[in-house]
Amino acid sequence: MRPQINPSILSADFARLAEEADAVAGADWLHVDVMDNHFVPNLTLGVPVVESLRKATGTPLDCHLMIEQPDRWAPQYVEAGAGSVTFHAEAAAAPVRLAREIRAKGARAAMALKPATPVEPYEDLLPELDMILVMTVEPGFGGQSFLDIMLPKIRRTRELIAKHGLDLWLQVDGGVSERTIERCAEAGADVFVAGSAVYGADDPAEAVRKLRNQAGS
């Protein structure tokens, strides 16, 4: 698969979300960070904003739910128009049931792992998912430094995907930039979330193109 770059609107101007989405119209997906101030110590946006954003852009939405009780909320994000919904393994009460529900409602189902959460206990669940997200920072804030110590976990996750012959995307999120994306790609990631590296650039569209080229090289 061609490397995918998903700009995170967490680093965009929240008062101008439609224009900020337009600024990266060449991106594969828009990454939408939903935080509830319980699962992570930060608060962002919810279902109504996703609904509005869906109408404002043609780019599909990749909703990353950093919230408690994703079993209760995730289906509403599919109904709001998300093309992909990611819940956290640490928060989900019934991850298999939830992944099946997300898929049944017509979106891609993904599960995220915080840095201290190993992938191995979830090996048997992987066929239920369309994507697995290996966090490369502690979730909660944009602009943090990439955690190099996550590279072996990315590698092990890629090995598990290969072992089971799955068509599963491997996303990385946190501190992904021109300085770190090649290492992530080399370790086996194929979907890259980038917030500050895209929206902090003078030309966000050009930053997306550069990151994609670097990831593919």
- Residues annotated in the binding site, as ranges? 8, 31, 33, 64, 140-143, 173-175, 195-196
Give the chain's radius of gyration (CA, Å): 16
Rounded to 5 degrees, φ, ψ at 195 are -100, -80
The single residue among 34, 65, 176, 207 that binds ligand DX5, judged by CB under 6 A, is 176
Alpha helix positions (H), the chain? 17-22, 47-56, 70-79, 95-104, 151-163, 181-187, 196-199, 204-216
Q: Which residues are annotated as a binding site for substrate?
A: 8, 64, 140-143, 173-175, 195-196
Which does residue 170 touch among ligand DX5, Zn ion, none (CB within 5 to 8 A, set by kind)? none
Give least dist CB 67 to ligand DX5, A: 12
CB neighbours of residue 132 within 10 Å? 26
62 noted as active-site residue: no
CB 26 within 8 A of CB 20: no
The single residue among 24, 173, 190, 204 that binds Zn ion, judged by CB under 5 A, is 173
Which does residue 143 touch among ligand DX5, Zn ion, none (CB within 5 to 8 A, set by kind)? ligand DX5
167 noted as active-site residue: no
Does position 31 interact with ligand DX5 (CB under 6 A)? The reply is yes
The single residue among 5, 10, 111, 184 that binds ligand DX5, judged by CB under 6 A, is 10
Query: Which residue ranges make up the site for Zn ion (CB under 5 A)?
Result: 33, 64, 173
Active site residues: 33, 173
